[in-house]
Amino acid sequence: MSVYRPVNRVFGVHALYLNTMFKGVPMSLKSIESVRSAGPHVVIAVVRWSVGQFSPPDGSIVPASDDRMTLVFRRSQAGLVLVHGANVQINAIAEQFDPSKGPPPTR
C-alpha cells in the first residue's frame, strides 16, 4: 500500500487544518535564535514564537505557549523555499533547568 499523496493535496489539507485551528489565534515572533548555512543550497533557522491559546480538532484547549521551530529552506532562483518545519512547545518548568542558562533557581 502506497502512502504517497500528491503534494498539492498535502499542502491543501495542511492549509485547511492550520487555518481552521489557528484562526484568530495571536502569534508573534519572539526571536530568531540562529540562522546557519548547511551547504550551498540549504539554510536552517531556529526561531521562537509566542502562540496564543487554541483548540485542535478534538475540542480540547491548548494553553498559550512559547514554541521553538526549526525551519529548513532550499535556495532557489526565486529566493528561499521552505521545505521542512518542526515545532516544539517549550515547557516553562523544564526551561528553568536549561544548563546553558546557568544554575537552576533555588527556593
Alpha helices in 1-107 (DSSP H): 7-21, 92-95
Helix (H) or strand (E) holding 91: none
Cα 54–70–25 angle (5° rounding)?
20
What is the C-alpha separation between 18 and 40, in angstroms, rounded? 31
Helix (H, G, I), strand (E, B) or coil at 40: coil
Which domains are seen in the chain, by residue range?
25-101 (3.10.450.50)
> What b/e string do you get for 27-59 counting C-beta neighbours within 10 Å, with b at 16 or more?
eeeeeeeeeeeeeeeeeebebebebeebeeeee
What is the C-alpha separation between 74 and 40, in angstroms, rounded? 9
Q: For the whole model, what pTM was predicted?
A: 0.72
Dump pLDDT digits (tens) for 68-101. Answer: 999 999 999 999 999 999 999 998 888 878 787 7
Dump pLDDT digits (tens) for 7-28. Answer: 788 878 888 888 888 899 999 9
